[in-house]
Amino acid sequence: MVPGAIICKEAIAIEPRIEFVDYDMSTSNVELRSSPFRKIATGLGGNLGTNSNNDVQELLECPVCMNLMYPPIYQCPNGHTLCSTCKARVHNSCPTCRHELGNIRCLALEKIAESLELPCKYQIQGCNDIFPYYSKLKHEKNCKYRPYSCPYAGAECPVTGDIPFLVSHLKNDHKVDMHEGSSFNHRYVKSNPQEVENAIWMLTVFNCFGRQFCLHFEAFHLGTAPVYMAFLRFMGDEDEARQFSYSLEVGGNGRKLMWQGIPRSIRDSHKKIRDSQDGLIIQRNLALFFSGGDRQELKLKVAGRIWKEQ
């Protein structure tokens, strides 16, 4: 018998939340009806009652940060459990009883965790997958129902959500231009372009084929060469992005540069796409030549089209 296991059992026995469930059945049943764990509990064929499955899940919640605990799970000599992230933050003192923590693992709880199957945390968003405890985190990192990050580039925006939410967020909070249709003609004008080392122009969102696309245009240095880059991002996942293509054209003075590509999913960060140079890149000298005049003003006309591949 592992000593840690004994201590842990005691911890379970003195856990006050268990008693609470026992004398307040009505409340816990109401919670259960809308709880993501209901499905699993019934799936277990009655081996584990719904209440006990819920209890086990509660036991695996870190009492400090309330997240599910993944091994290593720690406990103080009095049996209070703690996740490894919180353990690193509490300066070797148990947050529950202040006893010195040490490095005692709660092997019993780790074993219980191993035997559990839990729904993806994006179940409410539509994911119906159920995973062994240890695979859950890995799946959630790539779950296609996980929220998207705001595609606005420039300031780091912390907003996340589904696509309809992000579209209205771009419109209302970032004042992004919305454009209906699959072809466009866009002008980028900037005086004193020589001074612009790094710039992100206002993003434009295109609404076509019932989906949304983000057109980015920006200035940066490619090595030592100042360049402009235009590229398109798809507001959705990569497998859907691949169903579309787009073209961009820029020119002047009888010359023309053309780019054809596949929009990148907004799952890929703005910076990643820029660093991979997956878009129309225009050297600044050429861009100023396209602009005509005396090179004092950048005046680029970018024409583009989006289409769906058959």
Which residues lie near Zn ion (CB under 5 A)? 62, 64-65, 76, 78, 80, 83, 86, 94, 96-97, 99, 120, 122, 127, 129, 143, 150, 152, 157, 159
Closest distance to Zn ion from the beta carbon of 129 (Å)? 5
Closest distance to Zn ion from the beta carbon of 76 (Å)? 3
Closest distance to Zn ion from the beta carbon of 4 (Å)? 14
User: From CA 86, how far away is CA 96, in angstroms rounded?
Assistant: 12
Residue 7 vs residues 14, 63, 82, 96: alpha-carbon distances, Å = 11, 17, 14, 15
Residue 240 vs residues 121, 166, 266, 283: alpha-carbon distances, Å = 23, 17, 11, 31
Select 153 or 287, whichever has its Cβ closest to Zn ion: 153
Rg, Å, the chain Cα set: 27
Place of tokens 């859950």: 136
SS3 182: coil
Select 37 or 228, whichever has its Cβ closest to Zn ion: 37
**Residue 191, token pair as written in the block:** 């005086």
Going 246 to 250 to 256 to 259, the CA torsion angle's sign is negative
Closest distance to Zn ion from the beta carbon of 139 (Å)? 6
Closest distance to Zn ion from the beta carbon of 223 (Å)? 30
Select 121 or 295, whichever has its Cβ closest to Zn ion: 121
Place of tokens 């967020």: 169
Select 274 or 284, whichever has its Cβ closest to Zn ion: 274
Select 162 or 297, whichever has its Cβ closest to Zn ion: 162
